[in-house]
Amino acid sequence: MKYTNLRELTVSRIGLGCMGMSHLFTGKDQPDEVHIATIHRALELGVTFFDTAEIYGPFKNEVLVGKALKAHRDEVVIATKFGMMTGEGEERKLGFDSTPANIRYAVEQSLKRLDMDYIDLYYQHRIDKNVPIEDVIGTLKELIDEGKIGHIGLSEAGQANIRRANAVHPITALQSEYSLWTRDGEDGTLDLLAELGIGFVPYSPLSRGMLSGKITTLDNFDQDDWRLTNPRFLPDAFEKNKEILGEVTSIAAEVGCTPAQLALAWLLAKGADWAPIPGTVRISHLEEDIASVDVDLTAEQVARLDKVTQPVGGHHNEAQMKMLDREV
């Protein structure tokens, strides 16, 4: 494994997105022991960066991650998120809420579920238009001073809010969807991160599995798999995207790696302080993903991948896209 710094936070170059072990994806209903074995294999392979959120499950994913990693607390970086749930106790439900009171409630509940004393990297999951970002970051700075969190992150934040947030306290990382097939950050956001010294954590770096080349049919998805409602996985789009994927598969064959490894190696080549977090429930896929750190691409190969044909369909549906902050 290789390592990098998100500002001053050292993490493995490949992290593990744990969401799919409890939330939205096929395989989420397997016994905890299966998922814990995957997390422990990641540890054996040198992964130190693990990503979860209170909304995943909801709540169950933090419990799972805590159960798997508590005995390894000093070896790992735990990232979790707040801001997409509101209310307290049994009344807690989906809803944007980054008020100081809700942040404080959320962090205490996450610490209990993780069964840990502090959170290494605490993200605002989505920008709350009703709460000034200065108030959000001010509250998080207080939590740093209190020793409850170590670093502050943003997720799917636009350039204006990134600048305003970083002016209150240095932001360690931005987590947003970015991959060969999703290029939203190229609107100037990635340039801003480099300017401000903020690390980048691309989620869905394999476009929800499509870039792995292993999804050839939708018939094997659980009926409640969220991807079945995603524009890129709707039947007509899915068939066209399988054809488009051939471009990536061809370059992977030239390089001598799998399509998944190529997609991850491209991300690693794009930024020295980038740490993608592919998710999986299978140890074989985990091992394949991590091997991407040893795939070296030439400048010419990176340039070709920069220009690959983009897929049919958006990476979110219309309602979900409205949740993303794109204010410049």
Instruction: Name the residues annotated as catalytic.
Output: 56
User: Where would I find the beta strands (DSSP E) of 156-246?
Assistant: 173-177, 199-203
Tokens 């061809």 -> residue: 250
Computed on alpha carbons and rounded to an integer, the radius of gyration of the chain in Å comes to 19
The three-point CA angle 173-278-112 to 5° equals: 65
At 303, give phi and psi (nearest 5°).
Answer: -65, -40
Residue 327 near residue 161, CB atoms below 8 Å = yes
CA dist., res. 235 & res. 109, Å (int): 40
Nearest to 93 by CA among 102, 105, 81, 85: 85
Nearest to 292 by CA among 308, 271, 269, 273: 269
